[in-house]
Amino acid sequence: MTRHRKNYTKLIKDEAKRLGFLFCGISQAGFLAEEAPKLEAWLKNGMHGEMQYMENHFDKRLDPRLLVDGAKSVISLGLNYYTNQIQTDPLSPKISKYAYGTDYHSVIKGKLKELLAVINEKIGKVNGRAFVDSAPVLDKAWAKKAGLGWIGKNSNLINKNAGSFFFLAELIIDLELEYEIAPAADHCGTCTRCIDACPTEAIAAPYLVDGSKCISYLTIELKNAIPDEFKGKMDNWMFGCDICQDVCPWNKFSVLHKEAAFDPNPELLEMNKKEWEDITEDVFQKVFKNSAVKRIKFNGLKRNIDFLKTQA
């Protein structure tokens, strides 16, 4: 049985690599005892803002066995999206790197389905589910347990050899595998660059992010008007924010992604400040076809751009 677990684990990791994943680590499914009080306090203090869905399924967030019957293993995967391409007009409202290309949800779901199909084909019938921001799963906690990296002071998962510009996803399955012996060590040290650089002071304390103040939250998750208190503090971001990652010393080890679907839309990079401010719904649909930006719809992006204009 031990030999089978070893062979199955190798097969899964080899297949993940073939599919283009940067990392693959596996941990035993169980209750996240360390995360429970942290999540409870974070919610109690209202740091989730208007993200009411974070209050739902509290138990399921902490125990994947409630999401998949008979779950034994959590396979954590990382897919690189780092690019050194940037928007050509330095005055243009900015978009987070992760949203330059095709929506990562569809790209990663396709890979996870293929991975699960291979598992079923080569190992036998395995019950499992794929997760990409699609259910109450604490991605970073599982990735840490699986040895993919540590959770930094900016609450992002950081890998010593590749930084933090990668997506996280999971396969939760009812198959016993070999598990990582220990989570990765924390290498943030005394560094506070992310805390010092955040213009909205969203990093309330080391390892604690007040989501209700985060620029990514304000430009994506927040459905109502952006509060006036953030005028002059958005650093020209219209969708998401990369500040705490851009200043992180570990991201000097980031490597360019090899996923064609994540290549930036040239039109997106070339639009100037005025073109963004005058954007129409037709242009929005064209530039952001198959993009994660479509999540906030045309009106959401226009709201963000108009808010930035009031800071000029």
List residues with catalytic annotation: 133
Instruction: Identify the CA nearest to 151 among candidates 188, 111, 189, 195.
Output: 188
- Cα separation, 110 vs 125, in Å, equals 19
Q: Helix, strand, or coil here: 21? A: coil
Block residue for tokens 């045309």: 298
Instruction: Identify the CA nearest to 154 among candidates 233, 226, 211, 105.
Output: 211
Main-chain phi, psi angles of 75, to 5 degrees: -95, 110
**2-18 and 104-122 are packed helices; what angle lies between their axes, rounded to 10 degrees?**
140
Sign of CA dihedral 301, 306, 311, 312: positive
Q: What angle do CA 131, 48, 86 make, to 5 degrees?
A: 70
User: What H or E segment, with its residue span, contains residue 77?
Assistant: strand 73-80
User: Which residues neighbour 276 within 8 Å (Cβ) at sequence distance 6 or greater?
Assistant: 92, 93, 238, 305
Residue by residue, DSSP assigns 166-189 as EEEEEEEES------SSPPPP--T
Length of the chain: 312
Instruction: Identify the CA nearest to 198 among candidates 189, 208, 187.
Output: 208
- Can you say how many angstroms the Cα of residue 297 is from the centroid of all Cα atoms in its chain? 20
Q: Return the bridge partners of 24, or none.
A: 77
